[in-house]
Amino acid sequence: MRDKCEVKFIRPKAYVLSIIFSFMFFLGIQLYCINFGLNAESASGNMTSEKLVVLNFDDGRESQFVHAKPILDKYGFKATFYIVCNYVENKPGFMDWKEIKELYDEGNDIGSHSMNHAHLSKLSKKEVKFEVGQSKKCLEDHGIKVTSFAFPFNEGSNNKEIINSVSKYYELARTAGSPLTYLHCDGWKNQSDQNDCRTYTKNEDLTFANRYSIRGWSHDMSRIANSYTDDDLLKRFIQVVNTQTEYNKGEAIKAIPIVIYHRAGDNYAPNYNTDVDLFEREMRYLYDNNFHVISTRDLGYQEKGDYLYVKSPKDISLKGGIASVSNSN
């Protein structure tokens, strides 16, 4: 009797377990399918419905910390701040190390903007080395990992000696002069017929576009050049950040805007400044329209194939180049 009872007891248990296992197996397949579906969707180009923008702040001005940072924080955006090392705690109106470290520790990217904001093309080789190399060391001495350089006055990216120096210390370097940057360096058809971002041609000449001449759009220079009001500049900003949709069709991110700010809410230079309200409207636009805001360190360089790519928010595959482009600043 006892054996019989035990058998009876075990049988229903095995039966229940088999139902549970079957259900779990079924659920597992469903989850796998859902997961695979999502991955397949993103890998097959869902990313192209997303827009990216790189935000840069040059010079390390105090107003960037006081006025722009709270707005960036409000929307959860991170940017790259390019610091002039000898301005820090030496020149009024510029950030101190505590503020720079706070930006860095909170996830912003810190880049070098030289030691003294000098015109690099007017310096000796030794002086260029100091401006370029020592400024990296200066930031590193404050516990900051630096991967990119921004040319003071946007000068020097067409100079072989300067690029040789920059390339020894940095992964990437940024200048200005274009609303969009083309990740395969193939979008500036009027200036170059290159199809990749290699730094030198076969004849050892510098190429027009390479990882040490990444072009951004100078927001404040655009105001001066075009005598824009805040409303005009907001319209132009919206236009610039959306120009990428023309290129980022199909499966790849091929072009992204890099927006460069200088002063933020700084009334000492009304034309070369971004008013706080305008900055708030621009960041709100990016937030409301689901832009992914990234910093320069989110860009990588693929040695095999010589092209730039976006490391985050996801690894995005890049295929092919683009046909043509015509953009003015």
Nearer to Zn ion, 81 or 291 (CB): 81
Q: Residues 129 to 158: which contact Zn ion by CB under 5 A? A: none
* Residue (112 or 243) nearer to Zn ion, CB: 112
What is the closest distance, in whole angstroms, from the C-beta atom of residue 60 to Zn ion in the complex? Answer: 9
Applying CB under 5 A, which part among 50-58, 165-173, 290-298, 309-317 lies near Zn ion? 50-58
- Distance CA(57)–CA(54), nearest Å, equals 10
Residues 166, 80: Cα–Cα separation, whole Å: 18
Which of the stretches 59-67, 180-188, 275-283, 287-295 binds Zn ion when contact is defined by CB under 5 A? Answer: 59-67
Task: Name the closest residue to Zn ion (Cβ).
Answer: 58
Residue 77 burial (CB count, 10 A): 21
The one segment of 34-42, 57-65, 73-81, 193-201 that binds Zn ion by CB under 5 A: 57-65
Q: Which is nearer to Zn ion, 113 or 211 (CB)?
A: 113
Distance CA 282, CA 265 (A): 14
The residue whose two tokens read 């990992």 is 145
Q: Which stretch binds Zn ion (CB under 5 A): 12-20, 58-66, 192-200, 308-316?
A: 58-66
Q: Which is nearer to Zn ion, 175 or 243 (CB)?
A: 175
Residue nearer to Zn ion on the CB measure, 150 or 233: 150
- Asked if 58 touches Zn ion (CB under 5 A), the answer is yes
User: Quick one: 58 or 99, whose CB is closer to Zn ion?
Assistant: 58
d(CA 29, CA 11): 27
**Rounded distance, CA 318 to CA 214, Å?**
17
Q: Which stretch binds Zn ion (CB under 5 A): 51-59, 174-182, 228-236, 246-254?
A: 51-59
Our CB check for Zn ion shows the closer of 212 and 291 to be: 212
Distance CA 303, CA 308 (A): 9
Among 47, 55, 56, 59, binds Zn ion (CB under 5 A): 59
Shortest spacing between CB 175 and Zn ion, in angstroms: 11
Tell whether omega for the bond before 313 is within 30 degrees of 0, i.e. cis.
Answer: yes
d(CA 232, CA 226): 9
* In the complex, minimum distance from the CB of residue 121 to Zn ion, in angstroms, rounded to a whole number: 15
Q: How far is the CB of 206 from Zn ion (least distance, A)?
A: 22
Minimum distance, C-beta of residue 58 to Zn ion, in the bound complex (Å): 4
Q: Which is nearer to Zn ion, 187 or 216 (CB)?
A: 216
Handedness of CA 108, 111, 115, 120 (dihedral sign): negative
Instruction: Determine the Cα–Cα distance for residues 255 and 159; give it in Å rounded to an integer.
Output: 25
Token couple for 126? 């030794």
Q: Map tokens 């503020």 to a residue.
A: 99
Neighbours of 28 (CB within 10 A): 10
Q: Does 282 bind Zn ion (CB under 5 A)?
A: no
Residue ranges binding Zn ion (CB under 5 A)? 58-59
